[in-house]
Chain A
């Protein structure tokens, strides 16, 4: 059977949950396997009920010890559910959390891990996936050799599932947490101010680099343009290191991977480590004053010019009549 682990935030299922349902459904159809979803929650069961409108079988672990989430409690719960339900494949989101508990679950189940994949299929009985490697300069086809197979799926790798004509059942599941699952004491969670679309979920991303020159200019030009476009805000490491923007906005090898329909790179040079986080975007636009900047090698539309002139002009053009 195929088990999907869904993530939620502030009482709402994340976009990745619907992507995993879509992916799970097509894998279940292709293999004839049973499909179920797992919800881990410290409070209410609304999320599980919502999910039950998308698939027939939903398992809910409701336990106060899941808040705040820790890699170890989540590992315990997912491994327990996979074992109890007899999962052959566990699909989970390749979020920062998923990348941390995924390997633990795979090892605890004596199975295998296909990590951060961009596609996954069955070849007969074998699970095969593609994933980036070498700072996303290549894509590798990887084959699982031990079961069960834990697969962490990159955001944006699968289309969003449509509502199914179903009213599935929610099954409560108790997990035998152990004292050792609670060894780390989380405190002081600093959520970064929200109110803007999450970077990995955005259709448009506006990303600024050191070429902006200052935190104030970044706020005015990059954030200003993003607000106008309803876009997510991204930054390069140079910008984060300079303290202009928080780390959660960093895109690249050590930051986030984004695949929006439109990516605008403003004052970004296009270092390999940065490209690895955005080179699978749909359409890429760059504004850079240096015509030889490496970013222009991966762009669809480029403007050679000063961000301080081009970005206001762009804002004006967006206002204008179509």
Chain B
């Protein structure tokens, strides 16, 4: 059984994101494999180790630099990688349609994809990819087991959690709690450089939605530090919340 694990290259969480004349300025930012996708790569590796999968294909969509994220996935243990090279930040529906082609070509029965992207703050790719493939999906999985074609997964819903059962094919969106992703070892990083990474231009249709401009959202905050011992600071806080901010009755 082949597993496709989708990876994305995103700016580090600590990176400063600036806006210049409505455009995004990511100069100086370090880019990394999206943390949410790492859980998917790790889950694929565990399924292979348990004898449930024979091949793991890491697939990326984005600029040439996405190769680095794919190399990280290869260093973690994926067998081969495919990059659909595209310049812009296309919307998740457009990306899903392009990725679905690669999933079909790989003959995969299971696709793992990060639950929420750290650049577009989107949770849409997994469900959209499932729709493009005509498959069901499990979102926000915190547990996933496979036995042949039959799976069982626990996932988070609005008010708690739920267990889902079914049989492959399936798209799963991954998140914290699913597993603890491994760090690539140095020998594996060396090995990863020799694993096949196939780069091709993404043959996508026009994006169905696009970002027109960006703005920094930081709100003005009062940034008052209340001095004194615990009880006088607390009384002053309650007074200010009532009289100044008017958020307490």
Contact = CB atoms under 8 A, between A and B. Distances in A.
B203 interface: no
A133 B211 contact: yes
B213 A184 contact: no
Interface string A85-112: 0000000000111011111101110011
Contacts of B177: 240-241, 247
B29 to A, nearest CB: 10
Contacts of A113: 91-93, 124, 128, 208-209
Contacts of B194: none
B68 interface: no
A99 B211 contact: no
Chain B interface main SS type:
mixed
Given A113-B93, A145-B208, A96 B139 contact: yes
Contacts of A106: 93, 128, 208
B221 A115 contact: no
A142 B211 CA distance: 4
A143 B91 CA distance: 11
Most chain A beta-carbon neighbours within 10 Å: one of B36, B92, B210, B241: B241
A222 to B, nearest CB: 15
Contacts of B213: 140-141
Interface size class of A (residues with CB under 8 A): 35 or more
Contact of B131 (A107, A204, A283): A107
B231 A313 contact: yes
B90 to A, nearest CB: 11
Contacts of A300: 221-224, 245
Contact of A139 (B36, B128, B214, B234): B214
B116 A254 contact: yes
A75 to B, nearest CB: 8
B127 interface: yes
Contacts of A146: 208-209
A302 B223 contact: yes
Chain A interface main SS type:
mixed
Interface string B129-162: 0111010111110100000000000001111111
A318 interface: yes
A305 B159 contact: no
A109 to B, nearest CB: 11
Contacts of B137: 71, 100
A303 interface: yes
B186 interface: no
A146 B91 CA distance: 12
Contacts of A131: 121
B24 interface: yes
B234 A317 contact: yes
A320 B242 CA distance: 13
A22 interface: no
Contact of B214 (A138, A247, A305): A138
Contacts of B190: none
Given A138-B24, A143-B209, A103 B214 contact: no
Nearest to B123: A99
B208 A187 contact: no
19 contacts: A96-B140, A100-B139, A111-B208, A112-B93, A134-B118, A136-B217, A141-B213, A144-B209, A145-B209, A146-B208, A184-B165, A189-B163, A190-B162, A241-B176, A254-B175, A296-B223, A313-B230, A313-B231, A314-B238
Interface of A: 9, 68, 71-72, 75, 95-97, 99-104, 106-108, 111-116, 128, 131-146, 180, 183-192, 194, 198, 204, 237, 240-241, 246-248, 253-254, 261-262, 271-273, 276, 279-280, 282-285, 291, 296-306, 309-310, 312-314, 316-318, 320, 322
Closest CB pairs A-B (n = 3):
A313-B234, A112-B208, A103-B124
Given A71-B139, A115-B92, 13 more contacts: A107-B96, A107-B97, A112-B208, A116-B123, A141-B211, A143-B209, A180-B134, A183-B136, A187-B162, A254-B175, A282-B247, A301-B226, A303-B233
